[in-house]
Amino acid sequence: MASKLFGGTKLSDIARSVKERAEPSPMDRPGSARPILAAAEMALTGKVAPQLERENIFAVDPKRVRAWKYHNRTDGWYTRERCQDLLDSIAKDEQQEPALARRLTGDANFDYELVYGMRRRFACETLNKKLKIRVIDADDARAAILMHIENADRQDITPMERALSFQIQIEAKVFPTQEALSEAIGLSKGQVAKMLKAAHLMRQGSVGGLFADKSAVPIELAYKVATLMERPGAKEVILQAAKNLGREGEGKRAPSEILRLLAGSLDKSRKFTPVQKQYNVGTARRVTVTRNARGKVTLAFQQGLQGVDPKEVLLAVEQIVKDLA
């Protein structure tokens, strides 16, 4: 993806330059466009030097490294099953790519925080190996951009994980506005707004608790439910449906099924005009039909059905269905 923020340069190309030590920023190439967002310029070039700072690579104890608070992987990733590829690779060929870290001060338990590379940290700790990290001096805005660049082409980080990360960054004022975030990471304003709305759904009442792994929640369906909740009276209905699902036990349902059930709760709650009307059943009997505001229909045969011709009952029911449809 090319971004006007990066002078038309593809994010993958920037990622490559970040990984190659001290390569000049694409913003400093002759003829390149200056960024619209000052925070992005600072994030890529820094305030002092027109290139990335000199980077240092260290081998450290992974237990002394923690996750950056805005990183975009959920805790569900850090298992042997989900990191088996890295465990096998590092055990055989050592760690090929260093993680990106910032140095910490004033924390007795940790010396560094990882901007990206938490799966590598898990694998190295599991294998009792040192973790290779590239240490840079960067503020949160720059770190957020570098994390996005690193993960832009990864298939294993889900859209919802990115959306949740964007939400936290906006709330913490890492970027002052949604527009600033979209410009910095090279996504359209509409796409960022959609992702943030989907992420916000995870904090709506009991909805978030329905998902054991929020990273697996599909953005499109989450956005649909979040949009439906903006209708008058819809939020209360959907939140009640979420409570009901929680009581039933949602663990066996897939995230997409849960979201469809939440969206469908609006149809089930649709109000109907109450009806109470009598119909003839043949020439000698009558049936009273009642429909309440929730759509429940009751047929009451005051004299019972004994001795009634079934064909006459069916004719009456057909007429009732036509009238209430």
Which tokens is 158 given?
A: 């889900």
62 and 157 belong to one structural domain:
no
Q: Looking at the structure, tell me whether residues 158 and 11 fall in a common domain.
A: yes
Tokens of 275: 């009806």
pLDDT the model gives residue 135: 93
What is residue 150's three-state secondary structure? helix
Domain containing 253: what range? 202-268
Same domain, 150 and 254: no
Pair (313, 207) in one structural domain: no
Q: Are strands 275-281 and 297-301 parallel, antiparallel or unpaired?
A: unpaired
Tell me, yes or no, whether 210 and 221 share the same domain.
yes
pLDDT, residue 284, reads 81
Instruction: Specify whether 78 is located in the same domain as 64.
Output: yes
**Averages of pLDDT over each 10 residues, the chain, 325 residues:** 45 48 35 34 40 68 92 75 88 92 93 92 94 92 89 76 91 92 92 96 92 91 95 89 82 87 82 81 87 80 83 89 81
Task: Find out whether 102 and 146 touch, Cβ atoms under 8 Å.
Answer: no
- Whether residue 47 is found in the same domain as residue 60: no
Q: How far is CA 128 from CA 62, 66, 114, 195, 203, in A?
A: 9, 16, 18, 38, 37
Dihedral sign (CA 229, 226, 74, 64): negative
**Residue with the two structure tokens 């979040």:** 226
Q: Is 278 exposed, middle or buried (0-12, 13-18, 19+ CB in 10 A)?
A: exposed
Residues 69 and 107 in one domain: yes
Q: Which of 86, 101, 104, 94 is nearest to 133 (CA)?
A: 101
DSSP code of 55? P
Stretch (H or E) spanning 169: helix 159-171
Question: Which of 268, 285, 309 is the last residue in one of the domains?
Answer: 268
Contact between 53 and 136 under an 8 Å Cβ cutoff? The reply is yes
Number of domains forming the structure of the chain: 4
- Please answer whether residues 51 and 45 qualify as being in contact, where contact means their C-beta atoms are separated by less than 8 angstroms: yes
User: Chain centroid to CA 150: how far?
Assistant: 19
Task: Report which of 2, 316, 317, 320 is spatially closest to residue 185, judged by C-alpha positions.
Answer: 2
CA distance linking residue 292 with residue 105, whole number of Å: 66
Task: State phi, psi for 237 to the nearest 5 degrees.
Answer: -65, -45
Integer Cα distance of 214 and 165 in angstroms: 12
Of 97, 146, 137, the residue nearest 120 (C-alpha): 97
Q: Are residues 31 and 16 in the same domain?
A: yes
**Residue that terminates a domain, selected from 135, 160, 182:** 135
Residues 259 and 315 in one domain: no
CA–CA separation, 127 vs 137, rounded Å? 28
Q: What's the confidence (pLDDT) of residue 155?
A: 64
Whether this prediction's pTM lies above 0.75 is answered by no
Same domain, 105 and 65: yes
